[in-house]
């Protein structure tokens, strides 16, 4: 935006820049436009777009991160099922456990099965009931922890039937319900993140539309002179959208840097002992290396959105003039 | 033609400018000279009547065909209408830039023209820092730089001394010699007699031809 008075005619050097450098220059160095730059609104508009891109990057990062976490859960939980043996009048618990272990040892797809000892169950309950509060007269169920081959799982319905036939009062818990609820929460968080992304995009479009309209009406005189000199709407739009290309890209870069810093910080924290930071009660453990390219898409998308919005707005606004 | 619901500013105005002709447009202030020029450079459309430019009826011309026609018309606005944020050089080069020409192809021509109208030293100055006369010359340079088929000038010598006035008239005549039709609205009778060109006189919204 800062233009010195001697830029115009001495552009010999510009034509010599080529390739990547030319591209970088196009994106970062704004050449003088025939349309006056937005002037004072330029910086504030960059900041607004930066804020929008920061939010967009956060939302996108959160969505990706949540997707990773849930993918992990699905594979973790699918590998484990639990059989709960309730006390029954027909058989003693130990007999039931023995019968079930016998069935499991004969079932394909079961990697291992282990009956939890009373101490194990007590250890599981202590965090809730308090140490020493698990008394002997508390009717504790017997639990059998079963590891199954997630790639070739056993027929769980048949297994469930077989178990309840052999041991009345035994229930196969596939963790499905727990898993479904967790996944549901995660999907909701992911959906929310994408919704934020959508709202941020829509807001950006609205802001740029207003800024473009304001710029055009502030420069009505310039537009009229350009028209009378034979400029097509496309020419004016090109001049205006060049300005917004820079605004969008600069704002996007600032937002990207801020959001990457935020994610790196989150990643550092989760590396520590204080437990993972969370988003909507779901752990957000930084970003994977493979996610950063997606974030780099944010400033590019911002520049694209800015350019397209400005172009469409200019074309539509000018069409209403003579 | 009329503005809004106001009275008709121009009526029963009928004339034909032959290609390559040179005319003055005179008449008392408020006679409608500027309005007539506005119709001719297509800033306004007539409320009735027929205006044909380069064989096209401009009252019914579709919007997207206007630019092509406007590029064939150079205009010197009475109030100059230079773009304040651009340098004098950029202002003068604007019509060429709008035509999509590269800067390399016109830089020398623009510089030469600027030197010719006495603005060689003021190329990098912005219009707000120019004097009235300098602005006028920049506006004229912008109007003629693309060698239009028709040049419309509204009081082009109103802000310059008689010496510069004559110099600018020579520029117009030179342009005319190269095939551009010229129509100059002016109060300057000395300029009219100097050029010896026919005069269109607007009075009370009606037009008569003298000379």
For CA atoms B34, B38, B41, B46, the dihedral sign is: negative
Instruction: Measure Cα distances from B195 to A11, B71, B165, B201, B210 in Å.
Output: 41, 26, 11, 16, 14
* Average predicted confidence (pLDDT) for chain B: 89
Q: Within an 8 Å CB–CB cutoff, is residue B12 touching chain A?
A: no
The two tokens of residue A140 are 């504790």
Distance from CA of B86 to the nearest CA of A (A): 7
Distance from CA of B98 to the nearest CA of A (A): 6
Do residues A310 and A237 touch, judged by C-beta distance below 8 A?
yes
pLDDT at A31: 61
Taking residues A16-41, report their average pLDDT. Answer: 63
Confidence check: pLDDT of A162 > 90: no
Taking residues A31-60, report their average pLDDT. Answer: 80
Most confident of A124-138, A182-196, B132-146: B132-146
| Cβ pair B90:A32 closer than 8 A | yes
Q: CA A204, CA A214: separation in Å to the nearest integer?
A: 15
Distance from CA of A252 to the nearest CA of B (A): 27
pTM strictly above 0.80:
no
Confidence check: pLDDT of A215 > 80: yes
Q: CA A228, CA A115: separation in Å to the nearest integer?
A: 89
Do residues B139 and B76 touch, judged by C-beta distance below 8 A?
yes
**Phi, then psi, of A282 in degrees rounded to 5:** -110, 135
Of B54, B144, B128, residue with least CA distance to B95: B144
| Cβ pair A229:B68 closer than 8 A | no
Find, in chain B, the residue whose alpha carbon is nearest to that of A34.
B86
Q: A5 falls in which pLDDT band (50, 70, 90)? A: very low
* Residue carrying structure tokens 């579709």: B62
| Cβ pair B70:A222 closer than 8 A | no
Q: B153 falls in which pLDDT band (50, 70, 90)? A: very high
Taking residues B93-107, report their average pLDDT. Answer: 93
Q: What is the ipTM of this complex?
A: 0.90
pLDDT at A41: 61
Confidence check: pLDDT of B95 > 90: yes
- Measured in Å, how far apart are chain A's first and last C-alpha atoms? 30
pLDDT at A7: 42
Taking residues B189-202, report their average pLDDT. Answer: 88
Taking residues A259-286, report their average pLDDT. Answer: 61
State whether residue A142 is helix, strand or coil.
Answer: strand
Q: Which residue has the higher pLDDT, B174 or B7?
A: B174
Residues on chain A touching B85 (C-beta within 8 angstroms): 36-37, 222
- Measured in Å, how far apart are chain B's first and last C-alpha atoms? 26
Q: Within an 8 Å CB–CB cutoff, is residue B22 touching chain A?
A: no
A-interface mutation test, from B3, B78, B98, most A Cβ less than 10 A away: B98
Confidence check: pLDDT of A16 > 60: no
The two tokens of residue A220 are 């009505």
Distance from CA of B211 to the nearest CA of A (A): 31
**Poorest-pLDDT segment among A171-180, A240-249, B69-78, B158-167:** A171-180
Confidence check: pLDDT of A241 > 50: yes
Q: Within an 8 Å CB–CB cutoff, is residue B210 touching chain A?
A: no
Q: In terms of C-beta density within 10 A (0-12 exposed, 13-18 middle, 19 or more buried), how is residue A44 classed?
A: exposed
Taking residues B99-112, report their average pLDDT. Answer: 93
Taking residues A215-229, report their average pLDDT. Answer: 88
Taking residues A44-54, report their average pLDDT. Answer: 91
Rounded-to-10 torsion of CA A28, A34, A40, A46: -30
Q: Which segments of chain A does DSSP mark as H helices, in order?
A: 12-16, 19-28, 40-78, 93-105, 118-129, 156-166, 176-218, 220-228, 233-271, 292-320
Give the A:B interface size as CB pairs under 8 Å: 67
For the stretch B49-82, pLDDT in tens is 888 888 888 888 888 888 999 999 999 998 999 9
Confidence check: pLDDT of B124 > 80: yes
Give the DSSP letter of residue B80. Answer: B
């Amino acid at each position: 935006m800062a233009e010195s008075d001697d830029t115009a005619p001495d552009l010999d050097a510009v034509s010599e820049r080529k390739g990547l450098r030319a591209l970088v220059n196009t994106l970062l160095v704004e050449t003088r436009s025939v349309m006056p730059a937005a002037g004072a609104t330029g910086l504030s508009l960059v900041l607004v777009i930066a804020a929008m891109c920061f939010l967009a990057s956060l939302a996108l990062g959160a969505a990706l991160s949540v997707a990773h976490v849930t993918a992990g859960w699905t594979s973790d939980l699918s590998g484990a099922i639990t059989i709960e043996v309730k006390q029954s009048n027909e058989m003693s618990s130990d007999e039931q456990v023995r019968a079930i272990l016998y069935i499991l040892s004969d079932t394909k797809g079961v990697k291992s099965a282990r009956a939890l000892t009373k101490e194990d169950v007590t250890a599981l309950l202590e965090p809730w009931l308090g140490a020493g509060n698990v008394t002997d007269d508390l009717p504790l169920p017997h639990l059998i922890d079963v590891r199954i081959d997630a790639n070739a799982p056993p027929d769980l319905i048949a297994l469930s039937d077989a178990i309840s036939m052999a041991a009345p009062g035994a229930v196969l818990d596939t963790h499905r319900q727990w898993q479904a609820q967790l996944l549901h929460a995660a999907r909701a968080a992911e959906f929310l993140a994408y919704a934020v992304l959508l709202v941020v995009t829509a807001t950006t479009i609205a802001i740029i539309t207003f800024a473009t309209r304001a710029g055009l009406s502030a420069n009505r005189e310039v537009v009229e002179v350009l028209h009378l000199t034979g400029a097509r709407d496309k020419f004016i739009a090109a001049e205006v959208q060049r300005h917004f290309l820079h605004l969008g890209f600069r704002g996007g870069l600032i937002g990207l840097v801020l959001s990457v810093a935020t994610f790196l910080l989150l990643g550092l924290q989760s590396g520590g002992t204080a437990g993972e930071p969370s988003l909507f009660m779901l752990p957000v453990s930084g970003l994977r290396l493979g996610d950063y390219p997606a974030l780099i898409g944010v400033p590019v998308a911002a520049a694209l959105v800015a350019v397209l919005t400005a172009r469409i707005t200019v074309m539509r606004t000018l069409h209403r003039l003579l | 033609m009329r503005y809004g619901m106001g009275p008709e500013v121009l009526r029963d105005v009928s004339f034909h400018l032959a290609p390559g002709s040179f005319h003055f447009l005179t008449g008392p202030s408020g006679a409608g000279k500027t309005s007539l020029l506005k119709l001719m450079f297509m800033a306004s459309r007539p409320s009735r009547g027929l205006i044909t430019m380069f064989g096209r009826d401009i009252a019914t011309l579709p919007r997207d065909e206007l630019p092509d026609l406007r590029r064939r018309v150079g205009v010197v606005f009475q109030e100059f209408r230079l773009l304040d944020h651009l340098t004098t050089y950029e202002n003068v080069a604007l019509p060429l830039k709008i035509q999509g020409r590269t800067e390399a192809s016109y830089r020398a021509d623009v510089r030469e023209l600027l030197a010719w109208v006495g603005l060689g030293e003021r190329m990098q100055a912005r219009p707000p820092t120019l004097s009235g006369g300098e602005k006028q010359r920049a506006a004229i340079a912008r109007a003629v730089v693309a060698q239009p088929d028709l040049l419309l000038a509204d009081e082009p010598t109103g802000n310059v001394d008689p010496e510069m006035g004559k110099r600018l008239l020579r520029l117009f005549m030179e342009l005319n010699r190269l095939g551009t039709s010229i129509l100059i609205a002016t109060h300057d009778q000395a300029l009219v007699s100097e050029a010896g060109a026919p005069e269109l006189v607007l009075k009370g919204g009606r037009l008569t031809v003298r000379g």
